[in-house]
Amino acid sequence: MAPYEIKTIAVVGSGTMGAAIAQVAAMAGFPVVLYDLKKEILSKAEETISRNLDKGIERGKLSPDKKGSTISLIRTTNDFNELRADLIIEAILEKLDIKVALFNKLAGINSAQTIFATNTSSIPITRIAAATPHPERVVGMHFFNPAHIMKLVEVISGAATEPSVAKTVKDLAEKLGKKAVMAKDAPGFIVNRVARQFYVEGLKIAEEQVADFETIDKLIESYGFRMGPFRLMDLIGVDTNFSVTSSMFESFHFDSKFRPSRIQQQKVDAGHHGRKSGKGFYDYS
């Protein structure tokens, strides 16, 4: 087993998750390269990170100096050739072929010690790794939204993942201030498999017109949950949530208990993706 040491981190994809992961890594003192194809998306990510840090200052959890040092450790780029690091975390579309193509391209410009981590919510790590040249160095590192606040990180080993790779990533997650749990490779891993029914059953109740979104949320929240399923889907992203459900539906051979909702499909088709678009199950405009 090769010794792995993480000194530099690259994050591919500067959307909601990618920006927050870059922020978390930089706050822990790691130099980070944050990549996206479009400069305007990178600019938006920089604004988001700055805003997140300002909120931390307002709440007394962060000093202005810490904000400055964090931002200084994040370098944004749209030059793919700059994606050279000890650990590369992808936070891109939840599509198997796109993730595989990315890791294959990254393998061509990185060293034999680079670890490739996927932030996938539901795609089995083995399926991603099997189509890459170094499956032993592919591992799941699943953060939860919002990644700069949520403590949990699932570390998932595929069939070929080297144990030392998984341990290195678990240790790193803990250095980032996260609670890391090791998981075996299965669709949805631990949390998304358990949570899927939280969303799917809520959507079925709405489909059957037993109650509306707000009533369902209020009932769940009165039971002790911080958010009901519809508020949480709006926070995560209705499109992201729908993509995960669709992926798990396929991975479980179309088991009806994972069936995606027609209501959610309609929201996605309409561009009502939740808070990030200004409208989802609720209106944020």
Tell me if residue 78 is catalytic: no
φ/ψ of residue 87, rounded to 5: -135, 130
- Which of 192, 241, 246, 261 is catalytic? The answer is 192
Question: Measuring CA to CA, which residue among 175, 116, 181, 169 is closest to residue 144?
Answer: 181
Cα–Cα distance for residue pair 227/221, rounded to 1 Å: 6
- Which of 94, 134, 142, 246 is catalytic? The answer is 142
For residue 179, the SS3 value is strand
Residue 179's DSSP bridge partners are 152
Length of the chain: 285
Question: Measuring CA to CA, which residue among 281, 193, 277, 271 is closest to residue 231?
Answer: 281
- Which of 154, 247, 251, 261 is catalytic? The answer is 154
Tell me if residue 90 is catalytic: no
Tell me if residue 142 is catalytic: yes
Q: How many CB atoms lie within 10 A of CB 75?
A: 14
Cα–Cα distance for residue pair 50/62, rounded to 1 Å: 12
What is the C-alpha R_g of the chain?
19
First-to-last CA distance in the chain?
A: 53
* Burial of 118: CB neighbours in 10 Å, binned 0-12, 13-18, 19+: buried
CA dihedral 225, 20, 71, 61 (to 10 degrees): 10
Q: How many CB atoms lie within 10 A of CB 144?
A: 20
- Which of 52, 119, 121, 122 is catalytic? The answer is 121
Tokens in use for 1? Answer: 């087993």
Tell me if residue 145 is catalytic: no
Which residues carry out catalysis?
121, 142, 154, 192
